[in-house]
Amino acid sequence: MIRSRPQVVVSRCLGFDTCRYNGQMIPSKFVKRLKKYVQYFTVCPEFDIGLGAPRAPVRMVRKSDGIRLIQPLTGNDVTERLTDYSHRFLDGLSGVDGFILKSASPTCGIKDVKVYPGEGKVMSSGRDSGFFGGIVIDRFNFLPVEDDGRLSNFIIREHFLTTLFTVSRFRELSNNLTRKGLVDFQSDNKLLFMSYNQNEMRIMGAIVGKMDSRDIREVYDEYSSHFYKTMSTPPRHTSHINVLMHGLGYFSKYISSSEKRFFLDTLERYREGKIPLSVPLYILRSYVVAFESEYLARQTFFEPYPEDLVEITDSGKGRSGK
């Protein structure tokens, strides 16, 4: 199984440098914990175009020709400078697997950034993506892109981490592409793909199963589009339950009726939102170990990202994570 180190672009103010408009930084526990497992590339568009820190704040202002990035105190319009910088920075990236950007920032924010009708003391009149964050979404919509605020939600964080590490393994496969590698990747991720999108899982399986003498890079490119589509939407809890039931089928003849009943009761508690996915998952993993299932032991579904990144906290947004 491919073990990879994801490449992540992160807003520099999230614990790396005092580059915010007020000369401060915002430590992020999640960003700090993740550092052990990823390679970070930091970015601060406002600082990097020469605005300095501390600096007069910028805001998104709706003009007749569209939304502009204005520094109200000085009257500077930095729209073109920031846009040009963003494209140059992103053009220079190689092998990036995901982004963690500062929430609500007029540059880095990916959604819900305030847009103002003017430069003076006026109330915001709308919401949009920040300038850099919006360009990231447009260019890398197939990758996991989140902000530090949304990552406080367990469901969003779980999907981000699962996608990040799976995308990273897929990138590593591309760097050392072989037919066996693609077959193993599909096989090892089968239950994970099943939990995300069963239809796409079957399509990817068919592509791998019929590659025959086709050029391997051509096969990978076809497979790639379905892979990113599969990982683009968080799985529903009902899909997780279906996969867990599928996994239980491997052990139905080995476990007692009371053990099976206990597992089904645990699944029902998960369905009701009373316990996290990790509880039934751990029970099933114990069967994998006890009955030495080599096939299931390789399934990334049971540990799609490092286990010590699991933190059962939630911002209160509920199971949907929206």
Residue 100, by phi and psi: left (phi above 0), alpha (psi -120 to 50) or beta? beta
| Residue range 15-55, pLDDT digits in tens | 999 999 999 999 999 999 999 999 999 999 999 999 999 99
pTM higher than 0.75 for the full model? yes
> What is the structure's pLDDT at 43?
98
Q: Please, what sign has the CA dihedral across residues 12, 141, 228, 307?
A: positive
Confidence grade of residue 162 (pLDDT, cut at 50, 70, 90): very high
Strand ranges of the sheet holding 126-128, from the earlier edge strand across to the other edge? 76-77, 66-71, 59-63, 113-116, 126-128
**What's the confidence (pLDDT) of residue 317?**
40
Tell me which range, 252-261, 266-275, 310-319, is most confidently predicted by mean pLDDT.
252-261
pLDDT of residue 273: 84
DSSP 302: G
Residue 313's pLDDT is: 52
Q: Look at residues 187, 206, 198 and name the one whose alpha carbon lies nearest to residue 229.
A: 198
The dihedrals phi and psi of 101, each to the nearest 5 degrees, come to: -120, 160
Average pLDDT taken over every residue of the chain: 93
Mean pLDDT across the stretch 99-112?
Answer: 97
Checking if the pLDDT of 212 tops 50, the result is: yes
Q: Provide the 3-class DSSP secondary structure of residue 161.
A: helix
Residue 322: what pLDDT? Answer: 53
Angle at 125 between CA 121 and CA 126, to 5 degrees: 135
Three-state secondary-structure class, residue 297: helix
Q: Does residue 319 surpass a pLDDT of 60?
A: no
Strand 98-101: give its sheet, edge to edge: 39-43, 7-11, 98-101, 145-147
Residue 6's region, left for phi above 0, alpha for psi from -120 to 50, else beta, is beta
Q: What is the distance between the alpha carbons of residues 110 and 129, in angstroms, rounded to a whole number?
A: 5
Q: What is the pLDDT of residues 287-306, one digit of tens each?
A: 999 999 999 999 999 999 99
